[in-house]
């Protein structure tokens, strides 16, 4: 594959040699899927634990929303930076260094005895994840070629496994040794995956780059082909982050014990994990178009949230969790695959990092929105407002997403 591309108008070309991409074998992609598992397991085991034990550690609904959001706020600031860095120096060193940092900063949680230290540990983990998460996505996109749907479906499925294992294992670890045992386990897991990635990932050389003017950058990030799928990812992730934290809180208020409460979150994650590879295959076979698929996924997600907001109860919570999981599992791989197919490969890292910034804004904004509204009018009302926001996002028809980004054509 030739790495040379014609620079857009106003850009300054950089001379470099073409590079070849190795085959996407299972041995190559497995460490990237494991990195996705780490970030999902780490973020959502703690988030679900905070939701289920918020009363035990004296958290109000507003403080719970803040603690759920700080991880993502750290990622918002740093993901575009690390995404661009992976374009410049290669994705592998960014992935490995991010995992090492995640392992080290998780150790703060060993001394976590109050919400402040828990918040500091969450910020550190979010900062580290902001390195290896967009770099992993960019590497998956580069290895996938025109099979982006299938590879992002698998990548999302492994993240989904992290969402499944995270809440249940997190609840068990907190029961056995409190939050310090959970943070210690996360540190050991991230360190092991860092070693695996260092030994197994190919050292993909940076691709020839183009120097863009500020006007070029503004044009790229405001193009509908970028904005629409990024908004879809933000809405889906906002729903996910809120459900991970607030569904257990709602379930415990319905009389369920903490382990049963986080089981609803695991059901959500399981349905998402099962859905994503299937959706990815349908897309690559041209049996599902990006626009209608993303719109349908968001509408199903909004319906699940609205259902639990209108009729909170044990049965409704689990039905809503399944609907939200399928909706997120539909919208997410389509959004990522569309970005991968319509982005020049020499700036995949920057585009994925910027798109992940949008996701993290959603992931932070969803819990904050629900927390603020719930503290004033109750949790069901807060969830209802989120359902309206997700449904509104689906109205931005992804017909705009059918247009390619400047510099690369749409998938066939």
What gap in Å lies between CA 9 and CA 242, rounded to an integer?
42
Q: Which residues of 378-397 are buried (b: 16+ CB within 10 A; e: fewer)?
A: ebbebbbbbbebbbebbebe
Most confident of the following: 7-11, 106-110, 322-326, 380-384? 322-326
The encoded tokens of residue 375 equal 């503290």
What tens digit of pLDDT does each residue of 141-172 get?
888 777 778 888 888 888 878 877 777 788 88
92-95 CB contacts, 8 Å cutoff, 24+ apart: 92/135, 92/139, 92/197, 92/201, 92/202, 92/203, 92/204, 94/131, 94/132, 94/135, 94/349, 95/31, 95/32, 95/35, 95/131, 95/132, 95/135, 95/136, 95/139, 95/197, 95/201
Give pLDDT, residue 24.
Answer: 60
Opening angle at CA 217, ends 399 and 150, nearest 5: 50
pLDDT higher than threshold 80 for residue 114: no
Query: Can you tell me which residue has the tokens 């933000």?
Result: 234
| Dist CA 53 CA 50 (whole Å) | 5
3-state DSSP call for residue 21? coil
Angle between helices 91-106 and 26-52 (to 10 degrees): 30
The verdict on pTM exceeding 0.75 is no
- 3-class secondary structure for 145-157? CCCHHHHHHHHHH
Give tens-digit pLDDT for 205-230.
Answer: 776 655 655 565 666 666 777 888 88
**Taking a C-beta distance cutoff of 8 angstroms, is the pair 3, 18 a contact?**
yes
Q: How confident is the model at residue 198 (pLDDT cuts 50, 70, 90)?
A: very high
Q: What is the residue-wise DSSP string for 112-131?
A: --SHHHHHHHHHHHHHHHHH
pLDDT, position 23? 61
Residue 148: phi and psi, rounded to 5, are -60, -35
pLDDT band at 63; cut points 50, 70, 90: low
Q: What is the pLDDT of residue 320?
A: 92
pLDDT band at residue 98 using 50, 70 and 90 as cut-offs: very high
d(CA 392, CA 400): 16
pLDDT 10s digits, 224-276: 778 888 899 999 988 988 887 788 888 888 887 777 777 888 788 889 888 99
Task: Please check the confidence at residue 78 and state whether its pLDDT lies above 80.
Answer: yes
Lowest mean pLDDT among 41-55, 133-147, 375-389: 41-55
Output the pLDDT for position 6. 37
- The whole-number pLDDT of residue 212 equals 57
**pLDDT of amino acid 306:** 94
**Averaged pLDDT of the chain:** 79
Q: From the DSSP assignment, how many helices (H) and strands (E) are in the chain? A: 12, 2
**Do 5 and 211 contact (CB within 8 A), yes or no?**
no
d(CA 201, CA 203): 6
Instruction: Say if CB 266 and CB 167 are below 8 A apart.
Output: yes
For the stretch 294-322, pLDDT in tens is 999 999 999 999 998 888 888 888 999 99
Contacts (Cβ under 8 Å, ≥6 apart) of 42: 102, 106, 125, 129, 162, 166, 186, 189, 190
**Residue 42: burial class (beta carbons within 10 Å; 0-12, 13-18, 19+):** buried
Kind and range of the H or E element at 32?
A: helix 26-52
């Amino acid at each position: 594959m030739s790495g040379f591309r014609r620079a857009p108008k106003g850009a300054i070309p950089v001379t470099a040699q073409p590079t070849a991409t190795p085959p996407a074998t299972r041995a190559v992609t497995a460490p990237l899927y494991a990195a996705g598992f780490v970030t999902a397991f780490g973020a959502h085991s703690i988030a679900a634990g905070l939701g289920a034990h918020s009363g035990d550690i004296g958290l109000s609904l507003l403080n719970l929303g803040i603690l759920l959001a700080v991880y993502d706020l750290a990622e918002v600031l740093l993901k575009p930076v690390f995404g661009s860095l992976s374009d410049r120096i290669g994705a592998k060193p960014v992935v490995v260094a991010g995992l090492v940092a995640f392992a080290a900063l998780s150790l703060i949680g060993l001394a976590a005895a109050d919400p402040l230290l828990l918040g500091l540990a969450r910020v550190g983990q979010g900062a580290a994840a902001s390195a290896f998460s967009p770099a992993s996505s960019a590497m998956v996109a580069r290895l996938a070629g025109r099979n982006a749907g299938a590879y992002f479906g698998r990548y999302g499925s492994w993240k989904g496994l992290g969402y499944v294992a995270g809440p249940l294992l997190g609840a068990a670890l907190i029961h056995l040794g409190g939050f310090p045992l959970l943070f210690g386990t996360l540190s050991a897991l991230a360190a092991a995956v860092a070693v695996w990635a260092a030994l197994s990932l190919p050292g993909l050389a940076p691709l020839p780059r183009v120097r863009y003017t500020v006007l070029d950058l503004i044009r790229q990030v405001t193009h509908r082909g970028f904005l629409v799928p990024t908004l879809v990812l933000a809405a889906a992730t906002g729903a996910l982050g809120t459900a991970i934290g607030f569904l257990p809180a709602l379930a415990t208020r319905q009389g369920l014990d903490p382990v049963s409460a986080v089981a609803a979150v695991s059901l959500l994650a399981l349905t998402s994990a099962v859905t994503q590879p299937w959706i990815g295959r349908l897309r690559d076979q041209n049996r599902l178009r990006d626009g209608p698929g993303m719109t349908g996924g968001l509408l199903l997600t909004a319906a699940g949230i609205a259902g639990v907001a209108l009729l909170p109860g044990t049965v409704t919570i689990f039905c809503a969790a399944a609907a939200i999981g399928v909706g997120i599992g539909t919208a997410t791989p389509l959004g990522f695959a569309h970005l991968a197919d319509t982005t020049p490969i020499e700036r995949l890292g920057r585009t994925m990092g910027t798109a992940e910034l949008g996701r993290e804004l959603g992931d932070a904004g969803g819990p904050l929105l629900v927390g603020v509204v719930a503290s004033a009018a109750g949790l069901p009302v807060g969830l209802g407002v989120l359902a309206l926001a997700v449904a509104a996002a689906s109205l931005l028809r992804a017909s705009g997403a059918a247009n390619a980004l400047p510099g690369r054509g749409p998938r066939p």
